[in-house]
Amino acid sequence: MFANLDQIFVLLKQWAVGWLPASWQAAAGVLLCVVAIICVFPGLFAITVLLERKGLGRMQNRYGPNRVGIFGILQPVADGIKSLTKEDLVPLSADAVVHFIAPVFLVVVVFMGYAVLPMGRNMTLVHLDAALLFYFAIGASTELSVFMAGWSSRNKYSLLGAMRAVAQMISYEVPLLMSSVAVVMITGSLSLDKIVAAQNQYTWGLPHWYIFTPWGFAGFAMFAIAATAETNRSPFDLPEGESELVAGYFTEYSGFKFAEFFLGEYVGMLSISGLGTTLFLGGWSSPLAVLGWVPSWFWFFAKIMLSMCVYIWMRGTLPRLRQDQLMNFAWKFVLPLTLLNLFVTALWRFMGDGWERWLVCSAILVLAYVVMGRTGMHRDHLGARRYRYAD
């Protein structure tokens, strides 16, 4: 029963495909999966947007949307209809073709990343041996779309936003890759299926997720920072820079094209959360061995929605950084730490089992973090201040 529930989507697909002639089955299966992905993740996007607006509202002591439907659950529908019916403006001097291609390209590229994510037991669309490489190759292409959008709008704000976005995404791609390499070093494979399988083991009922190791924790933290920057989310949302660049690279987009950018951003967030989940949080494996009966896809989606909540929480709290600080943070703090983390990972690998490696690895990482944080703050003369008073 539970096994069937776990495999329900796989079985459904087989059942649906079974009606077709044998030669079509493989292609139809893939097509079905693609359609499923294209339906599910925009649905999650709608839920996330609603969750974000409600969550931000509550953090700011407001209700958030609560007028459309009960508790406002139809708000995304209303938003969608609104953006579809809005006029699609293209600035007179814009490069119309590139202006049109940019959002389409973004959405296409972002969806391609899902091809390799294992969303449950036996629920990977394409079993690639170099899945991680594929993911990063695809992820790197989103920058181009951002650039196209910013450049083709012929707006100075857009161009500034696009330049910022591209510089930021290139900078943070390096730590993103580097922190993932640690996982590859331990697993010995670029295949995401194998990475999940390696984490789907239990000792005393507790999972072998990589986040529960010193290097994995550090790697996850770095990955999370880099992923936030990659998706242009607060506190790294300066390409959009609401308060200075108005909306950055998509200032000149309206109506459906704007919705596409919005969709691309959120689907990208979901996708990179999925990657982080797969790499560090055990993918679809359950957090406790006794919960193994719960369907694996439930855990995957629960984990990515949880990380979306963290995104929202951060957005509700943190102001944004400045461009140079962002770059300094990437190159002077995150990148050295990820490199150190690679070293620590190697140490972990070769120190063998035992408590010593826990101690040594944690000590190195904590020490490095504290020292680098202190020197960084000290270098920029940052810190809480005391104030004098005159009577």
Partner 1 sequence: MGFVFYVIVALTLAGALAAVLLKNTVHCALALTVAFAGLALQFLELDAQFAGFAQILVYVGAVAILVVFAILLTRGSETPKDGVFSRTWLAGLAIAAAVFAVLGWAVLGSAQALPGPGGARTAPPTVTVLQIGNALMSRYVLPLEIVALLLTAALIGAVMVAMHEKAGTQ
Partner 2 sequence: MTESELMDATKPEGWNRPPAVKLDGEGEVLEISMGPHHPSTHGVFRMDLKLDGERVIGLKPEFGYLHRNHEKIAEGISYLACMPYTDRLDYICSLTNNWAYALAVEKLAGLAVPERAEYLRVILGELTRVQNHLGAIGFLIQDMGASGTPLMYAFREREKILDRFEELTGSRMMCNYMRFGGCRVDATPAWLDGVRNVVAGLPAFVDEFEALLRTNEILMARTQGTGILRPELAINAGVTGPMLRASGVNYDIRKVDHYGIYDRFKFRVPLGDHWDVYDRFMVRLLEARESIKILEQALKDIPGGPVMDPKAKIRGFRPKAGEAYGRIEAPKGELGFYLISDGGPNPYRYRVRPPSLINLTVLEDMALGQNVADVVLILGSVDIVLGEVDR
Partner 3 sequence: MLGEGILKGLAETARNFVGSYFSAERLTTVQYPEQRIAPIEATRDFPFLVYDGADWEAGLRCVACQICEKECPPKCIYIEKSTGKKPDALGKPQFYPARFDIDISVCMSCQICVEVCPFEAIKMDTEFELSTTDRFGGLLYDRKELAKSNEHYHKIHPTEAAAVDAHLAGEKAKADAKTKAAAAAATAKAAASAAPPAGGGA
According to the binding rule CB under 8 A, does residue 238 interact with partner 2? Answer: yes
Q: Give the DSSP H or E segment for 203.
A: strand 202-203
Rounded Cα–Cα distance for residues 59 and 51 (Å): 12
- Out of partner 2, partner 1, partner 3, none, what residue 370 binds, judged by CB under 5 to 8 A for its kind, is partner 3
Q: Which amino acid does the sequence have at 213?
A: T
Q: Which two tokens stand for residue 365?
A: 């990482």
Judge contact between 124 and 193, C-beta under 8 A: yes
How far apart, in whole angstroms, are the C-alpha atoms of residue 258 and residue 262? Answer: 6
C-alpha to C-alpha distance for 352 and 25, rounded to whole angstroms: 47
Q: Which is nearer to partner 3, 29 or 235 (CB)?
A: 235
Which one of partner 1, partner 2, partner 3, none interacts with residue 252, CB within 5 to 8 A by kind? none
Stretch of 127-135, 217-225, 240-248, 365-373 lying at the interface with partner 1 (CB under 8 A): 127-135
Q: Which does 130 bind (CB under 5 to 8 A by kind): partner 2, partner 3, partner 1, none?
A: partner 1
| Residue 143 touches which of partner 3, partner 1, partner 2, none (Cβ within 5-8 Å per kind) | partner 1
Task: Measure the CA–CA gap between 15 and 338, rounded to whole angstroms.
Answer: 46
What DSSP line would sit under 91-121, residue for residue? -TTS-HHHHHHHHHHHHHHHHHGGGG---ST
79 binds partner 1 (CB under 8 A): no
The contact pattern for partner 2, residues 158-197, with x = CB under 8 A and - = no contact, is --x---x---------------------------------
189 binds partner 1 (CB under 8 A): yes
Regarding 246 and contact with partner 2 (CB under 8 A), the answer is yes
Could you tell me which residues come within 8 angstroms of residue 15 by beta carbon, excluding any fewer than 6 positions away?
Answer: none
36 binds, among partner 3, partner 2, partner 1, none (CB under 5 to 8 A by kind): none
- CA-wise closest residue to 223 among 175, 260, 189, 167: 175
Residue among 274, 180, 171, 315 at smallest CA distance from 229: 171
69, 91, 235, 292: which one binds partner 2 (CB under 8 A)? 235
User: Helix or strand or coil: residue 202?
Assistant: strand
**Residue ranges binding partner 1 (CB under 8 A):** 95, 98, 128-130, 133-134, 136-141, 143-144, 147-148, 151, 159, 163, 166, 170, 173, 188-191
Binding site for partner 3 (CB under 8 A): 55, 58-63, 313-314, 316-318, 369-370, 372-374, 376-377
